[in-house]
Structure 1
Amino acid sequence: MPVKGRIVVNEAYCKGCELCVDACPQQVIALDPVRITAKGYHPATLVQEGCTGCGICAIVCPEAAITVYREAAKARQTAAA
């Protein structure tokens, strides 16, 4: 099974620059068209399944607004034991 990931975007720092959107190899990040932050930006968000937790979005984010979490597949953990 493929590795699954997720991101958490700190909306206090996200300025909607879209660098993470352009850098995401899975194309699962987009700017939220509905929500607006307190500073007036549309924050980045996951828009579909498929995040692998590669971390590229966090690396390119100039504001360090993205935290990436990777979840290893349970099948891999069982096979390794």
Structure 2
Amino acid sequence: MARIIVDEKVCKGCSMCIHACPKKIIALAKDRLNAKGYHPAELTDEAACVGCAACATMCPDSAITVER
């Protein structure tokens, strides 16, 4: 099973990963902010992740890694 890991210290909540995800299973956290004041991205359905890495490829800050 694949999953993504978002480095919340680096994520600036730009939403590029959300738009790149073909499964539409990434969202910005609504209930928390990182140290920089941004809502970080988070995986909403780990079971649906196929590990395509589109999100990691699109991330301008390299805040996403994919585990397979």
The structure whose Rg is larger is 1
**Structure 1 vs Structure 2 CA RMSD:** 0.7
Paired residues, number:
67
Equivalent position to 2:34, from 37, 41, 48: 37
In 2, Cα distance between equivalents of 1:7 and 1:31: 14
Moved over 4 A (4+): none
The answer for unaligned runs of 5 or more in structure 1 is: 71-81
- Counterpart in the other structure of 2:3: 6
Equivalent position to 1:17, from 9, 14, 19: 14
The answer for unaligned runs of 5 or more in structure 2 is: none
Percentage of pairs with the same residue: 54
Residue 13 of structure 1: CA displacement?
Answer: 0.7
